[in-house]
């Protein structure tokens, strides 16, 4: 069973700060309605529309929100944490929808190359990586094993690319917490300035208990790792630059990917496509093999992903 979740990285600006030890959350309005009565803190909506509600919570209560979404709704994410109210309210604007870039052509014309790499994907490699990541007691963003697990992913990806001088694998160190994100870059041969991102979150949820997070989200990172293995073994040389990312601190409000997105905006990086893999191991609440998220994602890219699934996965 596979669910593929695509998500655009949301970009926003910093402004008036939350009280010390507090965060503003922009949360999916439907999710908020479902969970608000189960939260001990009984948070009030500061502003909302049918898609997004903004609330303020203490840091410890952010973890309560995350835990309830996982336990009661059997899903991951659904909210972003912010230091400022203005930044949180960016999520209320329709304009944050990813614009369709008319210069991007979505065509399927590389069947021979792609089919060879798809046929080479090995289930046992994905299982092994899930097991190795799950063996960390937790991959929580402030824990020692959370820090170590990101270094393990970086070393694993670097080993797969050790014969390639056009590939680098780096740790992206964050400002407010010790766990790093991982970024692997394959430089494009014809359009190196145009960037395609394939990512998933590397952290897991708990700092107090064992949190192997095999499905959420060792599975996504393991799938990405096997894609990297196949691309490297087939000596794949992309025309555009491809970046593989393992995000730190997703479970507490997408901190890792937010900071990376801001750093990309600061230097005006041209990101032409983003896909995120989350919970690719376990069948969730819907009776589907693969699910594409349709809010805050690019419609044209989603259509293209659907056609790619028909062409190569056939489910």
From the CB of 254, what's the least distance to Zn ion, in Å? 10
| C-beta closer to Zn ion: residue 53 or 280 | 280
From the CB of 239, what's the least distance to Zn ion, in Å? 31
Spell out the residues 6+ positions from residue 288 whose beta carbon is closer than 8 angstroms to its own: 3
From the CB of 77, what's the least distance to Zn ion, in Å? 6
From the CB of 76, what's the least distance to Zn ion, in Å? 3
From the CB of 26, what's the least distance to Zn ion, in Å? 17
Residues engaged in binding Zn ion (CB under 5 A): 76, 216-217, 278
| C-beta closer to Zn ion: residue 194 or 203 | 203
| C-beta closer to Zn ion: residue 87 or 216 | 216
Q: Round to whole Å and give the CA distance between 126 and 211.
A: 19
Q: Round to whole Å and give the CA distance between 177 and 248.
A: 9
| C-beta closer to Zn ion: residue 167 or 260 | 260
| C-beta closer to Zn ion: residue 7 or 54 | 7
């Amino acid at each position: 069973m596979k669910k593929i979740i695509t998500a655009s990285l949301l970009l926003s600006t910093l402004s008036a700060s939350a009280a010390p030890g507090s965060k503003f959350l922009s949360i999916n309005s439907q999710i908020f309605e479902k969970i608000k009565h189960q939260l001990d803190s009984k948070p009030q909506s500061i502003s909302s529309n049918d898609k997004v509600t903004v609330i303020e919570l203490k840091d410890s209560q952010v973890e309560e929100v995350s835990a309830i979404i996982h336990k009661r709704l059997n899903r991951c994410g659904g909210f972003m944490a912010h230091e400022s109210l203005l930044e949180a309210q960016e999520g209320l604007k329709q304009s944050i929808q990813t614009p369709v870039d008319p210069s991007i052509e979505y065509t399927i014309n590389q069947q021979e190359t792609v089919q060879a790499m798809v046929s080479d994907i090995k289930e046992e490699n994905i299982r092994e990586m899930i097991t190795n990541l799950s063996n960390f007691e937790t991959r929580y963003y402030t824990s020692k094993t959370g820090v170590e697990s990101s270094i393990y992913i970086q070393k694993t990806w670097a080993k797969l690319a050790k014969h390639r001088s056009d590939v680098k694998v780096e740790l992206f160190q964050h400002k407010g917490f010790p766990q790093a994100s991982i970024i692997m870059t394959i430089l494009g041969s014809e359009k190196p300035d145009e960037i395609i991102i394939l990512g998933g979150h590397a952290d897991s949820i708990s700092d107090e208990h064992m949190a192997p997070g095999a499905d959420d989200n060792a599975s996504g990172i393991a799938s990405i790792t096997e894609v990297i293995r196949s691309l490297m073994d087939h000596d794949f040389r992309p025309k555009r630059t491809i970046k593989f990312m393992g995000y730190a601190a997703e479970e507490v409000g997408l901190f890792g990917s937010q900071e990376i997105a801001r750093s990309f905006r600061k230097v005006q990086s041209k990101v032409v496509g983003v896909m995120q893999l989350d919970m690719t191991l376990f069948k969730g609440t819907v009776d589907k093999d693969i699910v594409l998220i349709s809010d805050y994602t690019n419609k044209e890219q989603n259509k293209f992903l659907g056609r790619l699934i028909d062409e190569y996965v056939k489910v």
